[in-house]
A and B are shown apart, each in its own frame.
Chain A
C-alpha cells in the first residue's frame, strides 16, 4: 500500500504530468504526419530524459509511446494515409467515413476506442502480467509463423467480392517485401547490384504509395467531372460515446486481440489491427458494409492497435524482452535510469511499477482530452476542395517518403508503387490484401525459416506445437468458410436460383 501511494504521488506530481503531456503531444504529432513514426519521436526524445529523474523521464517516453499509438489514425481518417503502419486497417473504413461527412465522428470514435484499448491492456498488464508473460514466452518461431499465417488468411475477408483477386493481391504484396537484403543469410534479393534496393521497400513508403497516390489520381480524375457532395461535417458527433460503447463487446474482443498479440515479441500493431478488423467484419451483422465507412471498421482496429501497448510492455517489464523498436527504446530508457526490468524490479521497486502504471493511465486521459479537443481543428482540412487537397497530399507523399530514411530513392519508389497501386485498383484488384502482404510478409518468412533452422530442416516443429496447430486449424477454417461463402454466393446469384 505504501508503495502504491508513493508511486501515485510521483506519477501525479505536476512535473511528471507535464512530461506525460509533452510526450503525448510529440507522439501525436509524429504519428499523425505521414513519414514520421513515433519510434523516431522516442529516439529523438530519449536524450532529453538523461538529465531527468527516472519517473518523469519514463513518463515522457511512455507519453510519446501512447500518443504515437493513437495519432496515426488522424491522417488515416482525414487523408487516407496511415500515419503509422498500425493505422493501415483504420483507413479501410475511417477514410470512407470522412468522405461521407463523418470525419469528426470517425476521429472521435477512434480516440475513444483507442483509449479503451489502451486502458484495457493496462488493466490486463496490472492483473495478469506474470501469466501473460508466461504464455507469450511459449511463442517461438513456429507459433509466430502459424499466428502470422492465420493473420494472412484474413486476406479472404479483405478480398471484396473475388477471392482469387484477393489472393493475387496478397501474393503481390508479399513479393514486394521480398526485394532487398535477406535478413537471415545477408544476401541481396532482386537488388540487381543497387545499393538503394538492398535496404528493401520500406513498409511505410509502400503504405503511403498504395493508400495516397491512387486517391490523389482519383481526385484529379473526378475534378470537374463528378459533382462531389459538400462534406457537411456533423460536429455534434465529436463525442460519440454511446455509439462506440454500443459496440462494447467488439471493443472488448478487439482489445483482447491487441493485448495478446502485443505481448508476443516480433508481432505488433499492424497484425493486431488487421486481425481485429477481419474479426469485426466476420462477426458483424452487416459484413457487406465494411470498406464503405462503418463504425465497427474503425473501432475494432483502433482498440486492438492501442491495446498492443500494454501487451507489448508486459515482456519488457517482466522479462526485459522488447518486441519492436518502440519497446526497445522504452527498455533503453529504463536501463539508462537504472531500472533493470525483470522479476527483481517487481520485488524491490514496486513503487516504480505502480508509478509507471499510473503514468500510462494518465497518458490515456490526456490523449482523450487533447484528441477530442483537437477534432474540430483537424476536420477543417476537409473544407479544402478535393483537387487542391490532392495537390497537398501529393507533396506530402514526396516529403513523407523522403524523411523516413532520408532517401530520394524512396520518393522514386513511392511514385512507382503508387502508380502500380492505381493500376491494380483499376483492374479491380483490392489494395487491402496487398497491404496485408506487405505488413505480414517479412515476419511470415523470417519466422518460418528460423523455425526450420532450429529444427534442422524438419517441418515436424510446426506439428509438435499445440498452439501452432490451433492457428493452422483456424487458418483452414477461415479459408474454408470463405470458399464456401463464395460458392454459395455464386450459386444464389445465378438467374433462376432463389
Chain B
C-alpha cells in the first residue's frame, strides 16, 4: 500500500533509526570480549534494519507519486481525533500523577468523572457519580480487599 502517508513516514522512520543508532552508540557499551555480541549488537542491528525499511518505504512512495488511490488521501488524523487522543493521553498521565500523590481512592473518581464528562461527553450527573463511586469501590474490593494487592495510597495524603 503506497500512500501519501508513506512520503513522510518513510523519511521519519529513517531519521528515528539514525537517532536510535546515535543513542545506542552513545549510551550502550560494546562487547567485553572480541567476537562476542555485546549488549549493543542487537540494538544496532535493529536500528540498521529500521533505517533500511524507512528508505525502502520512501523509495516506494516516490515511485508511486501520482498513482495514489483516493482512499490513500484520507488524513491520518482529523482535528477531533487528535484532540481526543491528546485528551486520553493527558488523562492517563494525570491519573498516574494523582495515583501517586492523592492515592487510588480519591484519584479514581476524579479521573472517571473527568473522562465521562470530557471524553465520553456524558452529561447525566447521576450516571457520572454512580459510575465514579461504583468503579472505585469495585476495584478497591477486588484488588485491595479480596486479592490483597495494595493500591497506591498517595504521598500527599496522611491516612488515619
Residues of A at under 8 Å CB distance from B?
29-30, 33, 36, 44, 161-162, 164-165, 167-168, 171-172, 174-175, 178, 182, 184-185, 187, 189-190, 192, 213, 216-217, 220-221, 223-224, 387-388, 390-392, 394-399, 402-403, 406, 408, 411-412, 414-416, 418-419, 422-423, 426-428, 445, 448-449, 452-453, 456-458
Contacts and interface: CB of A to CB of B under 8 A. Distances in A.
A220 B23 CA distance: 36
B131 A391 contact: yes
Nearest to B2: A162
A86 B127 CA distance: 36
Main secondary structure of the interface of B (DSSP, over half): helix
B50 A449 contact: no
Q: Size range of the interface on B?
A: 35 or more
A168 B13 CA distance: 9
A422 B151 contact: no
B55 to A, nearest CB: 11
B5 interface: yes
Contacts of B112: 391, 395
Given A185-B29, A394-B91, A449-B42, 10 more contacts: A162-B1, A165-B1, A190-B23, A213-B88, A213-B92, A388-B120, A398-B111, A411-B92, A422-B85, A427-B5
Contacts of A415: 89, 92-93, 96
24 contacts: A171-B49, A171-B53, A174-B46, A175-B50, A178-B43, A185-B38, A187-B39, A216-B88, A221-B80, A387-B122, A388-B127, A390-B120, A392-B135, A395-B112, A395-B135, A398-B111, A411-B96, A412-B96, A415-B89, A415-B92, A415-B96, A428-B1, A448-B37, A448-B42
Contact of B143 (A387, A403, A428, A458): A403
Nearest to B148: A44
Contact of A185 (B32, B143, B149): B32
Contact of B120 (A220, A449, A453): A220
A172 B53 contact: no
A359 B36 CA distance: 46
Contacts, number: 173
Contacts of A394: 88, 91-92, 111, 115
A432 B77 CA distance: 21
Given A189-B28, A399-B143, A402-B152, A220 B84 contact: yes
Contacts of B122: 387-388
A167 B88 contact: no
Contacts of A423: 85
